[in-house]
Structure 1
Amino acid sequence: MLPIERQQRIIDELNINGRVIVAELVTLCQVSQETIRRDLTQLEKRGLLQRSHGGAVLSRKQAATAAGNTRAVNEYELAFRQRMNEQVEAKMVIAKRALDFISPGDCLLLDSSTTCWYLARQLPDIELTVLTNSLRIVQTLAPRGSIRTICLGGEYSDRYEAFHGIVAEQPLREFQINKIFFSCSSLGNDGYLREGNENNAHLKQQMLLAAERKHLLMDGSKFLRPSFARICHYRDVDFLITDQLTDKELEQELAWNGVNIIDCSQRNNAMQLIKN
């Protein structure tokens, strides 16, 4: 990696996380600590960051610029209509596996992710209460006679086809929700689940606080990717349901931190062996 590429990577990490740590940059860029420290010094001279103990943070000027450009950055996140056509097979497999964790009488909370929309489409018409901020999910469940559907109101976003804001958060305090199913934009190197939009991230934080059992539905393309706004650490999740988890080190870390991993690919491989 050329110095200019490495330094741009450092700036990208700063813009995403607000700070960088030398030890993490060494691993990320595969260079020595001395090289990273020289990069940080050069970037500080250019006014792009401010050195701190063991790393660096955005300079005041850059932080102000980043804050002012937040709305522009978020415009790059794909709309619901686009995301619903990505990783379709993986999302359907994950949604089908998630059905094993749903029982009659449950009070479920579904976020506005496309994966949860695939889950809603596969829900059987049994006695359930479903709370959601997703207009698509409300429309999907409307014909189900046995499912009581409650829409969390608030400010509507046509991009996400969902509601958010304080009004959407208030009803969460009124219900005893025993299970939440949710997704996110990414699971980063720092162990945090993130969203591409700060409003969505904040609402998901409140959703997680309101639910007893937390089920993360995430396809393999989202692992160890950067994204914008922090939701929570993976330690806060009870179950991870995914179509594939190829990073054995991450898998071990998740297990050590009490996350129950449901890898659909392992189940499919086992079924294939039985058939053969």
Structure 2
Amino acid sequence: MLPVERHRFITEILSQRGRILVQEVAQLCRISLETARRDLAMLERRGILQRSHGGAVFAQHAAPEKAVVPSQIEQGESFRDRSNQSPDSKTRIAKHALQLINPGDCLLLDSSSSSWFLARQLPDIQLVVLTNSVHIIQTLAVKANVRVIGLGGEYSAKYEDFVGVLAEQMLKEFVINKLFFSCHGISHEGGIRESNEHHARLKQQMLLSSEHKILLADASKFGRRSFARICHYREIDTLITDHLEDEEFRQELAWSNVNVIEVAPLPLQKKTKNSRNGPFAAANN
């Protein structure tokens, strides 16, 4: 971990806990005690903290650096808005993704609405699920056989999830069988991208921590321009989508050894006059 990353990490912990021990800094950042003390001394000179015996406390007059406050540079649509987009496609994708899950798996679900649709479909079997999504935690809490581990960090009211260095650091402690995640946009020119750098960086760590990477992406994601790069599409193993019409891109994925699964549409259902799409539609009335 680079010094600037360590300083951001220490600042985040202090802003949430109010205090930290030198030994904790050394263990979490995998550095020597002497290096940990130097980091705390530097942050004290910048007014971020006040050193005390064996550690440091957060300086009440100081605010965390702007670089660690996701809400100030959040881009993209809220979780609620995304959950009301293409619900039929996301349901079909989620149901097909279930075929890749076995009892005893350790799963990682990102905070995308696509992963939330998958969480709603998960059977009550022996699973360990890690996630940074508040909605996924709430959805799985009622399943007695599913062990849920929440990734902490900086809370985003807009996205209703946790991001930041704390969440990234937690992921390094686990061996994860399968990652299910989504993105804001995907193309053969720009790769897989997200609407802001905080989610992109967290998903990069998710990819590093997982053995099998499965991207859930409905047709609206293809060709969409997005701000921050997550990865090249050759870094994933499987793409599950409802429709991929770009044959050139399909060939690119095949050359990159990406298994593309295109799910069939559900039979058309007659809608009532007052029906509305989306799981949050009733709440918006």
In the alignment, the residues of structure 2 paired with residue 110 and residue 104 of structure 1 have an alpha-carbon distance, to the nearest angstrom, of 16
1:189/1:225 contact within 8 Å kept: no
One-letter identity of the residue aligned with 1:215: I
1:188/1:227 contact within 8 Å kept: no
Q: Does the alignment pair 1:223 with 2:222?
A: yes
What is residue 163 of structure 1 aligned with on the other side? 162
User: What displacement does 1:188 show?
Assistant: 2.9
In the alignment, the residues of structure 1 paired with residue 87 and residue 140 of structure 2 have an alpha-carbon distance, to the nearest angstrom, of 20
What is residue 104 of structure 1 aligned with on the other side? 103
Name stretches of at least 5 consecutive residues in structure 2 with no aligned partner.
1-69, 268-285
What is residue 180 of structure 2 aligned with on the other side? 181
2:187/2:249 contact within 8 Å kept: no
Q: Where does 1:1-276 land on structure 2 (aligned, <5 Å)?
A: 74-75=74-75, 77-265=76-264
Q: Secondary structure at the match of 2:213?
A: strand
Q: Secondary structure at the match of 1:174?
A: coil
In the alignment, the residues of structure 2 paired with residue 134 and residue 239 of structure 1 have an alpha-carbon distance, to the nearest angstrom, of 22
One-letter identity of the residue aligned with 1:213: H
What is residue 12 of structure 1 aligned with on the other side? none
Q: Secondary structure at the match of 1:179?
A: strand
User: What displacement does 1:225 show?
Assistant: 1.4
Larger relative contact order, structure 1 or 2 (CA cutoff 8 Å, min sep 6): 2
In the alignment, the residues of structure 2 paired with residue 72 and residue 220 of structure 1 have an alpha-carbon distance, to the nearest angstrom, of 30
In the alignment, the residues of structure 1 paired with residue 140 and residue 71 of structure 2 have an alpha-carbon distance, to the nearest angstrom, of 32
What is residue 29 of structure 1 aligned with on the other side? none
Deviations 1:36-57 (A, max 9, x none): xxxxxxxxxxxxxxxxxxxxxx
User: What displacement does 1:71 show?
Assistant: 7.9
Deviations 1:140-178 (A, max 9, x none): 000100000000000000111000001111111111101
Q: Secondary structure at the match of 1:150?
A: strand
One-letter identity of the residue aligned with 1:101: L
What is residue 48 of structure 2 aligned with on the other side? none
User: What displacement does 1:97 show?
Assistant: 0.4
1:95/1:122 contact within 8 Å kept: yes
Name stretches of at least 5 consecutive residues in structure 1 with no aligned partner.
1-69, 270-276
Q: Secondary structure at the match of 2:172?
A: helix
In the alignment, the residues of structure 2 paired with residue 200 and residue 158 of structure 1 have an alpha-carbon distance, to the nearest angstrom, of 14
In the alignment, the residues of structure 2 paired with residue 105 and residue 263 of structure 1 have an alpha-carbon distance, to the nearest angstrom, of 26
Q: Secondary structure at the match of 1:170?
A: helix
One-letter identity of the residue aligned with 2:135: R
In the alignment, the residues of structure 2 paired with residue 249 and residue 78 of structure 1 have an alpha-carbon distance, to the nearest angstrom, of 29
Q: Secondary structure at the match of 1:216?
A: strand
In the alignment, the residues of structure 2 paired with residue 214 and residue 120 of structure 1 have an alpha-carbon distance, to the nearest angstrom, of 16
**Greater helix proportion:** 1
Q: Secondary structure at the match of 2:192?
A: strand
Deviations 1:163-221 (A, max 9, x none): 00011111111111010000000003414111001100000000000000000000011
Q: Secondary structure at the match of 1:205?
A: helix
Q: Secondary structure at the match of 2:211?
A: strand
Q: Secondary structure at the match of 2:260?
A: strand
Q: Secondary structure at the match of 1:246?
A: coil
Instruction: Please tell me the root mean square deviation across aligned C-alpha atoms, in Å.
Output: 1.9
One-letter identity of the residue aligned with 2:176: I
Instruction: Tell me the number of residue pairs that the alignment of Structure 1 and Structure 2 aligns.
Output: 199
Q: Give the structure-1-normalised TM-score.
A: 0.69
Q: Secondary structure at the match of 1:187?
A: strand
In the alignment, the residues of structure 2 paired with residue 237 and residue 248 of structure 1 have an alpha-carbon distance, to the nearest angstrom, of 19
Distance change >3 Å, CA 92–CA 251, structure 1 → 2: same
One-letter identity of the residue aligned with 1:183: S
In the alignment, the residues of structure 2 paired with residue 151 and residue 73 of structure 1 have an alpha-carbon distance, to the nearest angstrom, of 24
Moved segments of 4+, more than 2 Å: 70-75
